[in-house]
Structures are given as structure tokens and as C-alpha cells.
A and B are shown apart, each in its own frame.
Chain A
Amino acid sequence: MQQTSMHETHVGSPRNRVDGRLKVTGEARYAAEYTAPDLAVGYVVSGAIARGRIRSVDTKAAMAVPGVIQVFTHQNRPRTAWRAKAYQDEVAPPGTPFRPLYDDKILYSGQPIALVVAEDFEIARYAASLVRVTYETEPHETDLGKLREKAYKPPKTRSGMAPPPPRGDAEAAIGAAPFKVDESYRIAIEHHNPMEMHASTVVWEGDGKITVYDKIQGVQNTQSYITHVFGLSNDDVRVLSPFVGGAFGSGLRPQYQLFLAVMAALELQRSVRVMLERDQMFTFTYRPDALQEMAIGANPDATLQAIRHDAIGCTSRFEDYQESVVSWSAMMYRCDNVTTTYKLAQIDTYTPGDMRAPGAPTGMFALESAMDELSYKLQIDPLQLRLRNYAETEGGGGKPFTSKELRAAYQLGAERFGWSRRNPVPRSMKEGRELIGWGMASGMWEAMMEKTSARATLTIDGRLEVGTATADIGTGTYTILTQIAADALGLPMEKVTARIGDSSLPMSPVEGGSWTAASAGSAVHVACNAVRETLFKYARGMDASPLANADIGRVAFRGGRMELMADPSRYVTIQDTMRAGGVDRIEAEETAAPSRINQLRYAAYTHSAIFAEVRVDEELGRVRVTRIVDAVAAGKILNPKTARSQILGGVVFGIGMALTEESMMDHNLGRFMNHNIAEYHVPVNADIHDIEVIFVEEHEDKINPLGVKGLGEIGIVGTAAAIANAVYHATGKRIRHLPITVDKIIGEKEAA
């Protein structure tokens, strides 16, 4: 990729969100807020049993309600693609995707079994309550703990999710190691619970054409899903998702409300909106639990001899969802003998899915808890144990890293936290009635980049528009794209408009995996560079151009001008240049893709060192996280302000995972029961105290032209482990099953 010198006026500096005003004034519109003159509203009827068949659906009473237009069920649904493959979206795991209203089979509790479409929402909701369904139940199983014997290696691997090959002889080395930890760990199933509930508004444009406002992290994924399932062409379907009110992965795959809304709109030939209720947000994807066994062996000098990490994750009966749970154990530390396995067991739920750093906080909770346990056995400081086994290459013997400043992160984080003042003895720190604990953990997440295209259009009024079909789920994508574009052409940010969330824009993958800054950012960067070069050619060709003999590398694009770096008094303006060139717009569409050579040669990861202080009222079982320091090494930080917010959000997510969040399954009914946000406990302000975010200087020049690694996931990865380790330090109680709730603190005995 071509690299040109560039003045970074905006990139690297804290900038307010360009869409901030729209959001706080309510002008930013979300999928369910769009309307159409003839809008009908659909309401989903959710199933009550976990497995079986629908014996009967009686829709007479619902249809009799004035204002009801149609009740769709499996019996009268319009025909859609018959091949299951047509339903496989861009990020579907191997298997047969769930097809709403496909037949009479019940695959999980809460499954949509009818859609009532009415003239307004209230009518639809009321009529939905009148739909009578009877079932033939079949035995179900939702308890992962009972399925250990039925676990299997997924026959088809989800791309990039195969556990790494073993190295050395871990079994023998663990057996021989004088110090070892061998324990089981579990997390809890979590639901994403974004603030905005999933919704799709389908506007009927006539002639079989539709415009779809969807809550989705990738408009082109929705578009291709619709075209494949409903047999439409790309020209018939435009998908828009300019704002997304949080998603955390729940909006990666098109969800069932989209299918239902499109189905109804096409069949009724009118506009239809379907929005899920809060309790229905618990009827699709979730973060899976996993049964994890983790063994680590070490020598007396605290060097790791062996790591074994086995995980059995839950999935549905119809798709083999896979995530990276165990791979971290093979990469994080220098260790010659490592073996990991990753299997699945099927439970009768919807297919789990990617949720913020999918797999990583799960696996790292086990690895980083076990490392902490090992540090006490070795009587070495937990941070020293990690430094002693620091991996200079992937896992100590693998690929070199594109960059890795984790050592600096450990050091800076420890300094800011005051780690050196820690008394290593559990239960040694106390204030009033509260025991104080300090714990730490490492974090790791892949720094990915995906092939992405962008268009840049400079107009003679000095405005620049850049566009790519990615999404901003609240992370700040609009803002960083604006910064990158503004710097490329030397314009103030106010002169730049970033357009995203529109399927008609240049190709972009879904927004996820922390790859958007690297991918969409690079695409915008190269598209703007192309415009910049064209502009410069015009500038050189102007009569008596002061830049006639200049090299683009020696010209600064600044304040709407191109000026010689050596003599800024010699310049031309963008407008004069375009006028002289006889153009009123310069447009370029470019594609940025990762360097395959570098991908083969190097390992690219973000890292973090996270330090946590907890205060525990042991008698009453109450844990407060009073301080977090998270030092992050993530390459170039495009916008320290939005970047900090990303990490804060990730840390809060991790606090929830550690202490409060848990989707509670009634195994008799096969149903998640605490399906509202009064009873599913996301942390509230009172649960959150000081969080300090540090970005470590990390020079990155191999993964993309911007040197950016992405920040969406890394904030959560080590957080739960650091908190659990702090709880141990405070209380002497090792809790290996998240979340660490009151009952576990008062029920658990102190570790021997």
C-alpha cells in the first residue's frame, strides 16, 4: 500500500463525536423510528416450549380484531428459498440457519411462531395475545453441565476458529512439573442487551422494491440475506442502518425480525415494521457458556512447562457456533508444551453468537485465573509470573508479532495502580469492614483487517464526502473516518462528511471483531489518497504553478491548500486547482486489503494489562470494584477520546461479566427466565467507580497503513479474570464460576 506523508492534524488527537449532537438531541434515527405513509406494524408471537411441534395455531380471534391485516404462521407463510444455504448470512457458523415460520418444528423456547400484522402497534400486540397455540412437546436439554459425554469436535470449522495444533508433550510435562494448577472454570450465559431493541422497518417502494431500515452491524449482510432468501436482486433492496443503538455482536447476523418484516412487506405489498420487545431480546443469540478444564505446570523458577486447556462450548442443535476460547492459552505465554481442545455440545436454544470479544474473556478467565492460582503456589507476584513467561513471539516459538508493547503496558499499568505496594498475602488488606483485594490479568485480542472499499468525493466547494458500507454501533466510526479523511486532504473536520450504513455504498464487511478502524479506516485513507494525487496532478499542471516541480511528499495539504513544506508561502488552493483543471468534483473508489505476506509472516494482536481493586464485605457477600487501571497496547490511537470510551465500555462489560450478568435458564422449561433488564443485571452507575485507561505507545507499521489495531474488544478481555483474582486476594476465596454473586462469596470456603 502506498504511504504518503501526511499532516496529522486530527488523527491521533482527541475529537468530539461528529454525530454527538444528533444523538443527544434525538435527531439520530434508529431502525424502528423510520416510517412510511402506509406503515403496518408486525408483532411477534413467541413460542412457549423448548422442543417439539406446533400441533395447532388458532388465529381466528386475532384475525377478528378490527385493524388486523394478516397473521402469518408456518401454515400460510409465503414461499421463500427452499435451500437452507440461502439463509446463511456472511458470518453464519456451519450448519442450517434458523428459518422463521419454516415449519411446525420448535427448536427453542421463545422461537417466533407467528407474526401479527396490523394497522398499528397496539392492535398488533393485543391481537398477538389472542393467538392460541398448542404443542406436542419432546424432551429437551438445556443443561450444558449434563452434556460433557456428548461433546463433539465440530465436523466443519468456522473460519479461524480451529484450536491451534499441539506442541511438545503437555501431558508428560504437566505430570513432571513440580508446581501445577488443574481446575475447572465456567462463565455464565450472557445476552447482549443493547439499549436499542432489534427492529426492521421495511418501506415498500412499489414494483417489488424495498428500502429496509435494519438494526444491523453490516447493511450489505442484510442485503444479501434478503436477496438470497426472497429471490430479489440487489437493485430491488436497499438497506440502511445509519445509527445502531449498541449491538455488541447481536447485530452481526440478520435476526428473525428482519425476515418477518420483509416477508410481510413483500406479501402485503406495503410497508411493515417489526420491533422486538425487551423480553424477545432473549430469544435469539447469546454468549455461550463453556465447560473449561485448565492445567498449568511450572518449574520452581516460575517458568511455564506445560499448558492444557480443554473447552466444551454450548451451541444449538442446528448450527455449530464456534469461537476462540482456548487459542489464547497457546499464544499468551512462552511455553513449549501446549495442548488445547475445543468441542461443542448441543442444547435446545437458539444458536449462540459473537458477543464482545467472543471466546476471549471466556478462555482468558480460565487462563488468567489459573495463572493467578499458580502464582500463589509458586509464591511469586502474579505480575512477575507473567513477565517471567513473557512471549516475545506467538506462544514463545511461533510467529513474531507485528508489534507488542505488553511489557510497557504491564509496567505503566502497575505504576499507575500502585501495584508495588501490594501485600501478597490474601486477606491482608482491610479498611473498615471491607477486605481489599488487588488482582491483575492480561488481555489479548486479534488485530484484524478485512478487505473494504471506500469512495471519496471532493467537490469544488471544498467539501469532502467519504463513504463505505460499514456501521457505527456507537464506537465512533463516523468520527475516525472523518478525521482520517480530513487529514488526507488537509481540510477541517466540518468540511468532511462520512457516510456509512447504506448498502449502496462501497463494499464493507460487517462491523465487528475490532477490525473496523483498520478496515474502513484504511479504505477511506486510500480513497482519499487517490483523490489527493489527482488533485495534486491538477495543481502541478496549473499555469505557473508554484508546485510545478514539487514532489507530493514535499507538499503539505493544509487548510484547503497545497503548500510547499519548504516554503508555505508558495501554495495553491483546492478550489483554484479544480477550477483550473476544469473539474467540479474529484472522485475515487479504492479498496484496502491486508497484506497477505505480513499476515503469513507475523502475528498481530492488541494486548492489555488490567489491574483491579475490589472491596468485599465478606459477611454480607458484597463485592465492589473500586478501581480499575487498564493499560492497552493497540498500535496507533486514532482518537484518544473515543478510544478511551471504547475501553471504558469494555471494562464495564467485564465488570458485569465478573459480578452481575447471567441469563438464568430454567432447565425444566428450557427457557431463560430473567428476560428483562430489571432482573438481568447489567452494571449501573453505582457499581462503577474509577476506571483509568492508559494507551501505551506502540509503533505499528505492518498491519495497515494507519497502524491501527482496533479497540472494540480488548477492554473486556482480561477484566473478569482481574476482578476474580482481586476477590481471591481480598478474601482467600477462589471463585471459578462467574458471576461472583453474593451467594458464592458467602457460600465458598477459603481456599486451602
Chain B
Amino acid sequence: MNRFSYARPGSVADALREVASSPAAKIIAGGTNLVDLMKYNVERPTHLVDVSRLPGLKSIEETGEGGLRIGALVSNTSAAYDTRVQERYPLLSSAILAGATAQLRNAATTGGNLLQRTRCYYFYDAAVPCSKREPGTGCPAKDGVNRIHAILGTSDKCIATHPSDMAVALAALEAVVKVAGPRGERDIPLADFHRLPGDTPEKDTNLGADEIILAVELPEARFAKNYTYLKLRDRLSYAFALVSVAAALEMDGDKVVEARIALGGVAHKPWRVPEAEVMLRGKAPDRMVFETVADRILLGAKGYGGNDFKIELARRAVIRALSQAAAGTPQSQTDKRIQ
């Protein structure tokens, strides 16, 4: 860990000034990921801007449009157990509770969760090449140990995945990230928040280096009844997803009116394929249909050896998640049996 200066601004405006004061400044809130990365010399900020006590970012409030606004500093635990979130956006609550451990969720924040970095082994190990950590050095994961790596949207330069569970649910729910920057505030739809690696794997998100997250806004609730968050991993808790699926259906009788399906653990961002979701419209929930949808989602999926199994696993997970959502029997995050 290198030496750094530390500031604890009292307002968003001050925070923005602090962030702009140094090109190697970094925002810290819960620190559950950043501190680890600093210890491993993966992140080497020279200036830390502690936003954890900024006023006004720690509450969950109603929006004018019937949705909820979750402040950037709301802890993962507070968001997951908020009664409005539980009643109106149980998919989000479920996804958050599928992640990490109680201790980590207590410390981790909503904004920080979106900005956590990949769990790629090579990214974490400063002794080996990694184009995400050090642009241009290459990606040894492609022909190395890659059972946890991406099968969709990869590039020659990077096959890392985004590890968040929460973001997968937010993608399905079409949340919007509210950010502030030197030029004022702007909205980034969650679908556009995280990036694919392309030629610039060092950039995880479209958030500007001089911007900070204020809140995540959820549109009016629609999927409180038929939803699930199904997470498959190497042990039954405290492990990142090999594959996860957030599925949300709006039903009219036994017909699907609208479907949202987002996958985690398979790409550099939560993976959605609107064309596949459309295929469910007007259809009765049926395994054959689910299979077609799953195939469409995984169109173009590519394995790198160790993660080849993820293609079939993801396909099966989508089918199971859609079955759970259609049946109104969401996956419990405490009982580890899968329905």
C-alpha cells in the first residue's frame, strides 16, 4: 500500500473538488474492495476522498414517479432489509442478500457495490500481467485459470467479469444511476453504467473520473410477484457467482406481459438481451419457450477452456430462473435448496 493523503469533505461540491484535485484521487466509502486492492498494490491512489459522511446520501426516498431513490451511501444491508425495497423490489433485496457476507454487506454501500472491481485472479496479483490493471500487458487468463471468467462480451484484452449481484438485479429492474460532476448532474441508465472491456479494459464503467454517484433510482415497481435471483457458485455462501440470473416477469393470468432477464458472472457487465426478453411476450410460461429464450441470450457465448461449462450452466440457470419466476416461487437466499 502506497502513501496517500486523505480528505473528508462535508458536501458533494467539496467532494467533487477533492476528486478533481489529483488525477490519482479515489473515492472511498465502505472500503470493502478498495482497501483490499490497495493492500495488494492493485489500486495506488495518492489521495483518498472519504465520502462516507456526506450528508443526504444515506436515505431511501420515494421519487415523484412512484419509484425509489436509494442514496449512494445506503449500506447493502439497509437497502436489502428496507421494507419498501422488500415489498416493491424483492428481486433487488434478494440479489443483495445473495452476495458477500453479513459483515461485508453492513459496510458496503450502494454506490461502492456498483464500483467494485473484478475478482479475476490475475487482476488481483500485481506480479503477473493484466491489461485491466496495467494496460497493454496482456491477459494471461485467456489461456490460464479461467473457470470464473466471462463467456459473453469478452475482448482479446480482457475476459474478466463484474462480480456484483446487486447490479444484476438493478439491470433487470432498469434502474438509473444518478451522478454528479463538475458540469452538474446527469443520469446513466444501469445498462450503460458498466462497460464491455473492448480495447480499454482498465475502464470498468462510464462514470467519469471526476464524477461521483449520488443515488440509484428505481422506476415504479412492476415485478414484485414473479421474480427470482438464482445464484450458482462454488460453495453455498461467500462466493462470487459462477452464473447468476435475475428474472422478473409481469404476468397477466398465465401469459407473460413483460420479461426482464439479467445474467451475472458471465460478462464484464450485467448481461441483458432485450431481443430474448421480447420472445416471452404473450407466451405462457413453458420450458420449451424458456429454452429458446436461454439459447438466444447465450448466442455467441464463447468459452476459454476452464469456463466452457458456464455456457451450458447459464442456459440451465436461465431456464430454472424463469420457471421459478413464473411459478412465483423465488429462490430463497437462506434455504440453499433450489426450487
A interface vs B, CB < 8 Å?
A: 46-48, 122, 125-126, 129, 277, 279, 432-434, 615, 617, 619-622, 624, 659-660, 664-666, 668-669, 671, 673-676, 678-679, 681, 683-687, 741-743, 746-747
Contacts and interface: CB of A to CB of B under 8 A. Distances in A.
Interface centre among A46, A434, A615, A678 (most CB of B within 10 A): A678
A6 B125 CA distance: 59
B65 interface: no
A325 to B, nearest CB: 25
Contacts of A279: 40, 125
Given A122-B1, A743-B147, A622 B338 contact: yes
B119 interface: yes
B235 interface: yes
B275 interface: no
Contacts of B140: 666, 668-669
Contacts of B232: 620-622, 742
A703 B18 CA distance: 72
Given A48-B127, A685-B237, A687-B236, A433 B121 contact: no
Interface residues of B, number: 39
B24 to A, nearest CB: 15
Interface in B1-52: 1-3, 39-41
A683 B336 CA distance: 14
Contacts of B238: 678, 684
Given A659-B235, A742-B309, 5 more contacts: A125-B39, A126-B2, A129-B41, A678-B238, A681-B235
Contacts of B41: 129
A279 B125 CA distance: 9
Interface in B100-152: 119, 121-122, 124-128, 140, 143-145, 147-148
A669 B144 contact: yes
B337 interface: yes
Q: Which 3 A/B pairs are nearest by Cβ-Cβ distance?
A: A743-B309, A686-B236, A48-B127
Contacts of A122: 1
B299 to A, nearest CB: 20
A126 B128 contact: no
A673 B235 contact: no
Contacts of A675: 121, 125
Interface stretch (B178-186, B217-225, B310-318): B310-318
B237 A666 contact: no
Interface in B299-315: 309, 312-313
Given A660-B234, A668-B143, A674-B121, A746 B127 contact: no
A676 B147 CA distance: 16
19 contacts: A48-B128, A432-B337, A432-B339, A434-B337, A617-B338, A620-B232, A620-B313, A660-B235, A664-B147, A665-B145, A668-B140, A678-B240, A679-B119, A681-B235, A685-B237, A687-B237, A743-B147, A746-B313, A747-B309
A742 B242 contact: yes
A361 B2 CA distance: 44
Interface centre among A615, A622, A673 (most CB of B within 10 A): A673
Interface in B222-281: 232, 234-240, 242
Nearest to A615: B337
B145 A674 contact: yes
Interface centre among B41, B147, B235, B339 (most CB of A within 10 A): B235
A686 B237 contact: yes
Contacts, number: 108
B339 A433 contact: yes
Interface in B68-108: none
A656 B121 CA distance: 20
A279 B128 CA distance: 14
A144 to B, nearest CB: 16
Contact of B145 (A129, A664, A687, A742): A664
A250 B313 CA distance: 36
A619 B144 CA distance: 27
B320 interface: yes
Given A129-B41, A666-B144, A746 B235 contact: no
A668 B144 CA distance: 7
A669 B317 CA distance: 33
Given A433-B339, A687-B236, A671 B119 contact: no
Contacts of A432: 337, 339
Interface centre among B145, B148, B316 (most CB of A within 10 A): B145
A676 B39 CA distance: 13
A192 to B, nearest CB: 18
A686 B127 CA distance: 34
Given A125-B1, A679-B119, A669 B236 contact: no
A126 B339 contact: no
A505 B17 CA distance: 63
A27 B148 CA distance: 40
Contacts of A47: 127
A131 to B, nearest CB: 12
Nearest to A48: B127
A679 B1 contact: no
B143 A46 contact: no
Contacts of A678: 119, 238-240
Contact of A620 (B147, B235, B237, B320): B320
Contacts of B125: 279, 671, 673, 675
Contacts of B313: 620-621, 742-743, 746
A687 B235 contact: yes
A686 B336 contact: yes
Contacts of B320: 619-620
B338 A673 contact: no
Contacts of A48: 127-128
A277 B41 CA distance: 13
Given A620-B317, A675-B125, A684 B1 contact: no
Nearest to A660: B235
A434 to B, nearest CB: 7
B1 A669 contact: no
Contacts of A669: 128, 140, 144
A126 B3 CA distance: 8
A79 to B, nearest CB: 29
A624 B235 contact: no
Contacts of A624: 236, 336-337
Nearest to A110: B127
A746 B242 CA distance: 13
A673 B144 CA distance: 9
A683 B1 contact: no
A727 to B, nearest CB: 15
Nearest to B232: A620
Contacts of B127: 46-48, 671
Nearest to B317: A620
B234 A741 contact: yes
Contact of A684 (B121, B122, B126, B236): B236
Nearest to A664: B145
B329 to A, nearest CB: 11
A743 B303 CA distance: 13
Contacts of B2: 126, 129
Given A684-B237, A686-B336, A620 B316 contact: yes
Contacts of A674: 121, 145
A406 to B, nearest CB: 32
A660 B233 CA distance: 10
Nearest to A655: B235
Contacts of B122: 673
A54 B122 CA distance: 22
Nearest to A671: B128
A743 B144 CA distance: 17
A742 to B, nearest CB: 6
A681 B39 CA distance: 21
Interface centre among B1, B125, B338 (most CB of A within 10 A): B125
